[in-house]
Structures are given as structure tokens and as C-alpha cells.
């Protein structure tokens, strides 16, 4: 079984992580490294995909920057999304020839990882009007005759009865190798989602593992579960590797050693 090199990077500025992704992707294209999964967090940033429109930023870039949120346009598919501390961001640098199948594979992995956290998550089928790529929880069928369901801490599930998005996906392929990936709500602040139109869905309700369960500090365990689940769905064997070692293996300049 081939390896999936998994590197836990901690909090990394978006631009720095993007540069690292591009370098690792080139190394993967050249055959210098096997498939890789980067797991990390970002300082607050809204990234726009290739189909994003200026109108997605409802309150404007100036407002966002004044509130500490950077705005960056990327090459990935999809529309505008948010990354911030407490969210688990995953960048698989893997060889694939089927973008749609690859997205479905990542969704299944995240659904599996969330199930181990007690979350009944699922995929949804997109329509011509709405791109529902990602991972969702809730919906009208969660309501019962007894009323709203309860979280493990005994409090009602917020926004019960509505479809809530807990993970977003957007990828970009070059020479058959992926970059960008997914972001899962864990312990993050949900307020920034109200400052723009997430994923081109004006009525979407974003959520997080903490919001759905009432638990705190959910990210460390979720990070481990996601690494295992992604490796399994890709048919690979997880092998942990430090960032410095990964950069040496790939033959790319090390920002950490330079610092």
C-alpha cells in the first residue's frame, strides 16, 4: 500500500500555505514525493474561487479588513469561503484524474470522521440552481414529534430543522495533481460567515462541531480522525512527517528553517 504523508502544520498564514502547496504539488508532479496531506489552521481569511463575484462580499473588502479578515483570490474551484482559527483546513496534494470523484471521496472521508465525533453528517446532491458540494448536517427530517433534537450536553441543537454546512470543499488540478482541499468547522467563531455570501448560497447556515455538540476543544481529536479517514478513503497508508522533513524530501526551500 502506498503512503500518504500527513503533516500537522499548526497556524499558518494563507499565502505561506499556498506557496508551500504549489511547491509540493510540483514535487508530486515530478515524482519526488508520494501523496501528501497538510492539516493546519489559518488566521482569519476569506478566499474567493474562480467563480466568485464581487457581490459575494456583501459588506465589502474594507469592512472585512477592518475586522481583521484578509481577502485573497485563488485558483481553486468554488466560490467564497472563510478560514479562521479553530477550523481544520486540509490540503491533499494527491494524484487524481477525476475531479468529481475526488471531491466525493473527500466528502465521504469527512462524513466518516464526523460520525466518530457523534455527528450525523452527509453529502447532498447539487442542483442546476445550487452547488451543494461539501458536508452537511441537519435538515427537516431531524425534527421529531417531541420537538428539536438535543445536543450531548442536553441543550437544543441550534437551527434544528435546517440544512447546516459543516465542511466546504474546493480543489484545483494541475497535471493530474490536486491542491487546495477542505475546511471543517470545529471550534471557530461563526460570526464572519454572516459578513459575506458563503459558497454562493445566500441562505446557507454554517455550523461547527462545537456548535453541534456543545463541546469545546474539538479540533485536536477531529484532526487525527480526519487524517485517518482521508488516508483510508484514498486507499493509502498514513505516515506522519514533520514540515521540515517534508520540505527536505520534496527539495523545496524551508520557511521554518529560514526563520
Q: Which tens digits make up the pLDDT trace of 166-175?
A: 999 999 999 9
State the pairing for strand pair 3-11/35-41: parallel
191 has pLDDT over 80: yes
CA–CA gap between residue 61 and residue 252 (Å, rounded): 33
Q: Which of 27, 36, 94, 199 is catalytic?
A: 199
pLDDT in tens, 92-105: 999 999 999 999 99
What does the pLDDT average to over 152-157?
Answer: 88
Is residue 37 within 8 Å of residue 253, measured between CB atoms?
no
Average pLDDT, the chain: 91
Give pTM, 2 decimals.
0.92
pLDDT in tens, 73-90: 887 767 888 999 999 999
| Domains of the chain listed by start with CATH number | 3-258 (3.30.930.10)
199 is catalytic: yes
pLDDT in tens, 133-153: 999 999 998 887 677 788 888
CA–CA gap between residue 191 and residue 119 (Å, rounded): 22
69 DSSP β-pair partners: none
Q: So what's the pLDDT on residue 197? A: 85
Q: So what's the pLDDT on residue 236? A: 98
Q: So what's the pLDDT on residue 145? A: 65
259 has pLDDT over 60: no
More confident residue, 5 or 72: 5
State the pairing for strand pair 45-48/81-83: antiparallel
Q: So what's the pLDDT on residue 150? A: 87
DSSP output for 45-92: EEEE-TT--GGGSTTHHHHHHHTT-EEEE-SSSS--EEE-TTEEEEEE
Q: So what's the pLDDT on residue 255? A: 65
What does the pLDDT average to over 109-116?
Answer: 98
Lowest mean pLDDT of 61-65, 108-112, 134-138, 253-257, name the range: 253-257
What does the pLDDT average to over 181-210?
Answer: 92
Q: Read off φ and ψ for residue 14, nearest 5 degrees.
A: -60, -45
Q: So what's the pLDDT on residue 256? A: 55
Amino acid at each position: 500500500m502506498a503512503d500518504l504523508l500527513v503533516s500537522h502544520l499548526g497556524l499558518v498564514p494563507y499565502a505561506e500555505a499556498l506557496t508551500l502547496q504549489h511547491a509540493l504539488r510540483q514535487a508530486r508532479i515530478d515524482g519526488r514525493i508520494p501523496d501528501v496531506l497538510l492539516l493546519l489552521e489559518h488566521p482569519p481569511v476569506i478566499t474567493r474561487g474562480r467563480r466568485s463575484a464581487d457581490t459575494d462580499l456583501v459588506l465589502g473588502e474594507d469592512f472585512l479588513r477592518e475586522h481583521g479578515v484578509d481577502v485573497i483570490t485563488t485558483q481553486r474551484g468554488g466560490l467564497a469561503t472563510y478560514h479562521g482559527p479553530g477550523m481544520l483546513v486540509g490540503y491533499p496534494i494527491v494524484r487524481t484524474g477525476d475531479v468529481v470523484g475526488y471531491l466525493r471521496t473527500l466528502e465521504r472521508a469527512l462524513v466518516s470522521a464526523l460520525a466518530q465525533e457523534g455527528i450525523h453528517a452527509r453529502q447532498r446532491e447539487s442542483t442546476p440552481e445550487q452547488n451543494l458540494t461539501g458536508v452537511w448536517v441537519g435538515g427537516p427530517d431531524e425534527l421529531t414529534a417531541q420537538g428539536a433534537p438535543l445536543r450531548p450536553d442536553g441543550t437544543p441543537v441550534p437551527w434544528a430543522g435546517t440544512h447546516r454546512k459543516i465542511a466546504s470543499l474546493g480543489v484545483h488540478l494541475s497535471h493530474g495533481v490536486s491542491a487546495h482541499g477542505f475546511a471543517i468547522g470545529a471550534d471557530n467563531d461563526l460570526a464572519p460567515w454572516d459578513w459575506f455570501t458563503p459558497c454562493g448560497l445566500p441562505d446557507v447556515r454554517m455550523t461547527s462541531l462545537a456548535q453541534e455538540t456543545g463541546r469545546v476543544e474539538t479540533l485536536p481529536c477531529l484532526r487525527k480522525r480526519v487524517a485517518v479517514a482521508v488516508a483510508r478513503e484514498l486507499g493509502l497508508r498514513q505516515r506522519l512527517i514533520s514540515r521540515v522533513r517534508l520540505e527536505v524530501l520534496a527539495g523545496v526551500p524551508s520557511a521554518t528553517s529560514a526563520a
